[in-house]
Structure 1
Amino acid sequence: MTPQQAGQLACCAAVFEPGDPARTGRVAFWDPDGGTPPPAPGGEPGEVDLVVPDGEGFAVRTVPVLRLTPAGALPALL
């Protein structure tokens, strides 16, 4: 992953999705502003249901994500 790609992903929110077995867990990056996360090498586009702020409460929304292995996500997380 280039520094530019890591910088773009660093502007996204991230959530860890555990896997079974544990080594299959992924980090899903999503754009809180509603856009699509930028592409990254080894990334898998997809969707996930998240609880997000909605006015004075919360709502479940399906948002587009980019899934990376923890090792692949590390540059953006740092």
Structure 2
Amino acid sequence: MSSRRTTGGRISEDEINELISKLQSLLPESRRRNMGRASAGKLLKETCSYIKSLKREVEDLSERLAALMSTMETDSPQAEIIRSLLR
């Protein structure tokens, strides 16, 4: 992180702009395209929405994996491959 801080521990405007730019670069291109030149507030809302969608996706994949694992014999080659991938 940048060392440009104002007195009292506050973050400078330059550092906020730098952090906003970094945050926007983490969003997928499809989400950035819909935003154009967005305000910081809009960017934060979109980032929160994206994180929530990622969380739902992880939960869905976890449930699907648990269901798949429950249908396999625990010592099957397929189960061992899945376990090794998860390590």
TM-score by length of 2: 0.22
Which of 1 and 2 has greater Rg? 2
Which of 1 and 2 has higher RCO (CA within 8 Å, sep 6+)?
1
Which structure shows the higher strand fraction? 1
Which structure shows the higher helix fraction? 2
TM-score by length of 1: 0.23
